[in-house]
Chain A
Amino acid sequence: EAGVTQFPSHSVIEKGQTVTLRCDPISGHDNLYWYRRVMGKEIKFLLHFVKESKQDESGMPNNRFLAERTGGTYSTLKVQPAELEDSGVYFCASSQGPATGWNTEAFFGQGTRLTVV
């Protein structure tokens, strides 16, 4: 069974440019999460989809970040325009039920390392 896959694995862009990250969850997983870790900091929650709906987007830093999950399958996270402080590793995770639920395992992708220069 394929795991959670993220594209690209690395991205280097200039400040002011736009970048789109993609996450393909495990098939059948309704719950999809985006997380981010900036250098030296903890892994921080960005948002949570249930199917195509945004369940919780309280972690989105500002309106330069836009996440979508059309059709409830793969998800994209677009940063426009990118700023230096957006650099970090972006992780996607998926789970059948809510990740905090009993006997529920969240499966994480390998992450996308974004560098804004």
Chain B
Amino acid sequence: LAKTTQPISMDSYEGQEVNITCSHNNIATNDYITWYQQFPSQGPRFIIQGYKTKVTNEVASLFIPADRKSSTLSLPRVSLSDTAVYYCLVGETNFGNEKLTFGTGTRLTIIP
């Protein structure tokens, strides 16, 4: 599976837009890019998924350049409740190898 690299931590003020970039240089043609969010004492929660270009939902946007070697999760106008660890995952569906692989994640702290 493609290995991902993210910043270990980020701080941001309330109301700002936050962009978290993930590198996945070895991404394969069939790999999707998925982001999960984890609050303290909870399990990870799906945020968004994409393959290429831009994806937007009610929570976030995901930007993927043409070479797909990186992706950027964008959180608009963050609030204190967005303080969490954000994981970038890359994986494909191969029979017998269908597991999500978590990296270190990015610990995002929102400052009042």
Contacts and interface: CB of A to CB of B under 8 A. Distances in A.
Interface of A: 4, 31, 33, 35, 42-45, 48, 55-56, 59, 91-93, 97-103, 105-111
Nearest to A6: B43
Q: Describe A's contact surface by its main secondary structure.
A: loop
A56 B51 contact: no
Contacts of B98: 31, 48, 55-56, 98-101
A86 to B, nearest CB: 19
Contacts of B32: 100-102
B100 interface: yes
A33 B100 contact: yes
A92 B42 CA distance: 11
B44 A108 contact: yes
Contacts of B42: 108, 110-111
Interface of B: 32, 34, 41-46, 49, 51, 87, 91-93, 96-105
B46 A106 contact: yes
A110 B44 CA distance: 8
Nearest to A98: B98
Nearest to B96: A56
Contacts of B34: 100
A117 B87 CA distance: 31
A109 B45 CA distance: 9
A21 to B, nearest CB: 13
Nearest to A45: B99
Contacts of B97: 56
Given A33-B99, A43-B87, A45-B101, 15 more contacts: A4-B43, A35-B102, A45-B100, A48-B99, A91-B43, A91-B44, A98-B93, A99-B91, A99-B99, A100-B32, A100-B91, A101-B98, A102-B49, A103-B49, A110-B43
Contacts of A93: 43-44, 100
A108 B91 contact: no
11 contacts: A92-B43, A98-B98, A99-B91, A99-B100, A100-B100, A102-B32, A105-B46, A107-B46, A108-B43, A109-B43, A110-B43
